[in-house]
């Protein structure tokens, strides 16, 4: 119940829950149609009739921000669910089995990590077309490798533990060992990564929509609302301000919640405290081992190298 003793996290959790409920209930709320245009109500500032004002086509900003929240959360959860499942599966294969599939998965991971994630998402969405599913796929392309690396790193350290050896010795099958002994013990860091990647996915979707490559008008997304508001920035700043604030508050809330969950679940961070310890980690591009703090690891979604690889690198 550490949550109750942390007001900032309480506020963030409350915000995230309210946002999720509003996003779910938005079709039932007494709000104007987010795509309904009105010439009379063009560029109206916030007022009792339109609490957050209207845009260039007279559409209600509050309604569009809430419908945008629905889409942002759908993309955030969709990307993390898809990337988490695929990345964990590939990470398990790469970490548990030491044969050619492991090498192949690792090389592919390195290759995908060599691309700037935004450019990869931009090109993927261009090739596949822009709808909700393709946007989720396009963002996932850059996120799956992070799950693969995390799962592999965790599993490499778990697979050498005594209880896994014991399970192997009594003849348990590989799938059973992976499911009952390895994967269940690797769940905590995966939950942390999921929480930290939801805001990343929301931000990337907003960026794609802002650039006109994600979900386009008239469907409201926070990114395309800012894009269209930019044209009348001086005359009607509320067009840009409210979707911008929605992005910042949502990402901030999920980042804080992610930090809190990490601190609660990860004993090494709890014990190391803010000062942190320097841990070895492999550079994706070269495989060279470097020493880096826990905060940096968290920021990159990386895990420390296993003792085996550390010995090989002479750390």
Partner 1 sequence: MRRIGARLLQLIPTTVGALLLVFFLMRVLPGDPAAAMLGTNATPQAVADLRSQLGLDKPLLDQFLDYASGLMRLDLGRSLALRTPVTTLLAQSVVPTLLLTFGGTLVSVLVGVPLGVLAALKRRTWLDYLASVGALLGISIPVFVWGVLLLLAFALQWPVLPSAGAGDTPINVGRSLILPSIATGFFQVGLVARITRSSLLSVLANDYVRTARAKGLAPPAVIGRHALRNALIPVLTVIGLNAGTLLGGAVVAETVFTRPGLGRLILDAINARDYPVIQGVMIVSVVLVVLLNLVTDLLYTAADPRVRA
CB 79 within 8 A of CB 257: no
H-run or E-run covering 290: strand 289-293
Give the separation between CA 257 and CA 264, rounded to whole angstroms.
10
Nearer Cβ to partner 1 (78/284)? 284
Which of 240, 257, 282, 306 binds partner 1 (CB under 8 A)? It is 240
Binders of partner 1 among 132-161, rule CB under 8 A? none
Q: Which stretch binds partner 1 (CB under 8 A): 38-46, 72-80, 148-156, 234-242?
A: 234-242
Give the separation between CA 224 and CA 218, rounded to whole angstroms.
9
Q: Which stretch binds partner 1 (CB under 8 A): 19-27, 33-41, 153-161, 277-285?
A: 277-285
Binders of partner 1 among 81-120, rule CB under 8 A? 107-108, 110-119
Tell whether residue 199 is a contact of partner 1 (CB under 8 A).
Answer: yes
Give the separation between CA 278 and CA 293, rounded to whole angstroms.
5
Nearer Cβ to partner 1 (22/113)? 113
Give the separation between CA 84 and CA 40, rounded to whole angstroms.
47
Q: Is the peptide bond before 185 cis (omega within 30 degrees of 0)?
A: no
Q: Which stretch binds partner 1 (CB under 8 A): 17-25, 147-155, 168-176, 205-213?
A: 205-213
For residues 93-130, one letter each, b for 16 or more C-beta atoms within 10 angstroms of the residue's C-beta and e for the rest, the string is: bbbbeeeeebeebbeebbebbeeebbebbbebbeeeeb
Collapsing DSSP states into helix, strand and coil, what is residue 159?
coil
Tell whether residue 47 is a contact of partner 1 (CB under 8 A).
Answer: no
What's the min distance (Å) between Cβ of 252 and partner 1? 4
What's the min distance (Å) between Cβ of 59 and partner 1? 19
What's the min distance (Å) between Cβ of 280 and partner 1? 11
For residues 195-208, one letter each, b for 16 or more C-beta atoms within 10 angstroms of the residue's C-beta and e for the rest, the string is: bbbbbbbbbbbbbb
Contacts of 69 by beta carbon, 8 Å cutoff, 6+ apart: 19, 22, 23, 26, 222, 246, 250
Which of 45, 101, 129, 307 binds partner 1 (CB under 8 A)? It is 129
Nearer Cβ to partner 1 (20/211)? 211
Q: Which stretch binds partner 1 (CB under 8 A): 60-68, 88-96, 175-183, 275-283?
A: 275-283
Binders of partner 1 among 62-81, rule CB under 8 A? none
Q: Which stretch binds partner 1 (CB under 8 A): 58-66, 169-177, 285-293, 303-311?
A: 285-293
Longest Cα separation, the chain: 77
Contact positions vs partner 1 (CB under 8 A): 107-108, 110-119, 122-124, 126-129, 199, 203, 206-207, 210-213, 223, 226, 230, 233-234, 237, 240, 244, 247-248, 251-252, 255-256, 259, 274-278, 283-288, 290-296, 299-300
């Amino acid at each position: 119940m550490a949550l109750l003793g942390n007001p900032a996290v309480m506020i963030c959790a409350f915000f995230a829950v309210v946002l999720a409920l509003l996003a779910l209930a938005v079709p039932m709320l007494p709000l104007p149609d987010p795509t309904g245009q009105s010439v009379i109500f063009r560029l109206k500032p916030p007022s009792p009739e339109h609490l957050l004002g209207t845009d260039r086509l007279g559409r209600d900003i509050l309604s569009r921000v809430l419908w945008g929240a629905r889409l942002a959360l759908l993309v955030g959860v969709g990307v993390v669910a898809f990337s988490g499942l695929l990345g964990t599966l590939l990470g398990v294969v790469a970490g548990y089995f030491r044969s050619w599939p492991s090498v192949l998965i690792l090389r592919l991971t390195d290759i995908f990590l060599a691309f700037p994630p935004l450019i990869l998402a931009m090109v993927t969405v261009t090739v596949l077309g822009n709808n909700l599913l393709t946007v989720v796929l396009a963002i996932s392309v850059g996120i799956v490798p992070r799950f693969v690396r995390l799962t592999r790193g965790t599993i490499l350290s778990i697979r050498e533990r005594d209880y896994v050896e014991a399970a192997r010795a009594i003849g348990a099958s590989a799938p059973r060992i992976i499911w009952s002994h390895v994967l269940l013990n690797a769940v905590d860091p995966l939950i942390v990564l999921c929480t930290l990647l939801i805001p990343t996915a929301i931000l990337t979707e907003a960026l794609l929509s802002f650039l006109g490559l994600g979900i386009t008008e008239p469907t409201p997304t926070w990114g395309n609302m800012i894009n269209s508001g930019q044209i009348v920035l001086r005359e009607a700043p509320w067009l840009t301000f409210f979707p911008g604030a929605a992005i910042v508050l949502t990402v901030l809330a999920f980042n804080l919640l992610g930090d809190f969950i990490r601190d609660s679940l990860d004993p090494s961070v709890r014990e190391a405290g803010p000062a942190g310890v320097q841990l070895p980690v492999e550079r994706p591009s070269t495989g060279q081992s470097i020493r880096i703090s826990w905060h940096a690891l968290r920021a990159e979604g990386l895990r420390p190298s296993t003792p085996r690889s550390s010995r090989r690198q002479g750390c």
